[in-house]
Amino acid sequence: MIHYKRFTLDNGLRVLVHEDHNTAMACVNILYDVGARDESPDKTGFAHLFEHLMFGGSVNVPQFDAPLQEVGGENNAFTSNDITNYYITLPSANIETAFWLESDRMLSLAFSEQSLAVQRNVVAEEFKQRYLNQPYGDVWLRLRPLAYKVHPYSWATIGKDLRHIEEATMEDVKSFFQKYYVPNNAIMVVSGDVDVEQVKALTEKWFGSIPSRKLEKRNLPAEPRQTEARREIVEADVPVDSLYIAFHGVDRLHPDYPAMDLLSDILSRGSSSRLYRALVKDQPLFSEVNAYVMGSVDNNLFVIEGKPLPHVSLAEAEELLWNQLALIKQENVTDMELQKVKNKVESTMVFAELSILDKAMNLAFYEALQDAALYNEEVEKYLAVSTTDLQRVAQHIFVKENSSTLLYHAKEKQHAE
């Protein structure tokens, strides 16, 4: 359990403080409630581009990293389809430096044509190297729009079209900043060797004068229920054949989310998991096979992916995966199987509570989701899942009409499909 206290500034900035005096370090984590799902369909990739721009310097601090390095600090950030998260870890004695730097770029980010040009090029190169010029790199550029027809999860965080980034204008990025990078759209979590009164004073000093702005209510289109199977077959320069099957699942706050997540663990977590034992270990038919839940805030995807061995065709591989899904739908998993994955989830969450950064990020995410208090209820929700719950959720999710299948045929390999 993570103990914390909270307060909110007059400008709407929500602040959570977790005291941990077993360390000499502190973490300042700021989550902005904006991700790729908030972008316009004709201007995608902006949330990720902006993550890069936030390190381009402010009006008062031309180089964000320089003063941080001088006080022994480190920083980084990440963007998802749901959020953008920035964090700084540093000796607690120097924590005010983090408040100064984060508040300064929230208030006075430098909008220079040079910085925009540099970061546009950086993101464009990332798009090319990771998504266009790498084997299987375009999986999510294909699988997302195959599975989502209405919801903005249909594009990846990097964006759906390289031109959207290449053609981003100064007016575009300023508009994005003014719309989302405001204190009343942010959550700050401070963890480590700090105390609440100290954090209150520093927050008021550095963030209290930053004006809030009216936020537009998020009104995303709901993805309609999928009623027929979808398929896409790709001939590509990839080392081996590969397949991906995506199923629509529940949202992050749905009561069945823990059961869905545990299903992915039973199928694919560790060498004793069902898919690994059946298809890799006991009877070598795949070189690798995985199952996972995307963990999105809205309607999730449950994804199964695998690379069959050369003597197994994609058609055979697909049938093998569906056979395994049929088994988990027809018979309850054993109590031992379920307890094993529950133990792994519990241990993962316990270990996460050893890191001040993990604690800060988890509190921020759950606060953005609905309420930070939900984090402390997670273990109990997972432990309450029954074998009956797993079978019910499996029967609901693993149906052909709810599937979107992407098949990669390696160009050099002959096939009869």
Q: Please report how the helices 46-53 and 170-180 are oriented relative to each other, as an axis angle in degrees rounded to 10.
A: 90
Residue 33 has a CB neighbour count (10 Å cut-off) of: 20
**Cα 45 from Cα 163, distance rounded (Å):** 10
Helices (H) and strands (E) in the chain, counts: 15, 11
- Please list, in sequence order, all residues whose beta carbon lies within 8 angstroms of the beta carbon of residue 214, skipping any fewer than 6 positions away: none
- What sign has the CA pseudo-torsion 308, 310, 314, 319? negative
Least Cα distance to 242 among 302, 313, 294, 323 occurs for: 313
Helix ranges (H only) for 109-155 are 113-126, 139-147
Half-sphere exposure of residue 265, counting CA atoms within 13 Å on the CB side?
Answer: 19
29 vs 85: CA distance, rounded Å: 7
State yes or no: is 51 an active-site residue.
yes
Residue 111: alpha-carbon gap to chain centroid: 27
Which CA distances in Å does 65 have to 55, 70, 97, 190, 281?
8, 9, 11, 19, 47
Nearest one of 186, 188, 231, 213 to 405, comparing CA atoms: 231
Read off the tokens for 52. Answer: 């890069």
Find tokens 């973490």 and name the residue: 27
Q: Which one-letter amino acid corresponds to residue 373?
A: A
According to DSSP, the β-strands at 186-192 and 286-293 are unpaired
Provide the 8-state DSSP code for 253: T
Find the catalytic residue in 51, 318, 337, 367: 51
Alpha carbon distance 349, 377 (integer Å) = 11
Neighbouring C-alpha atoms within 13 Å toward the C-beta of 294:
25
Residue type, 339: Q
Q: What are the catalytic residues?
A: 51
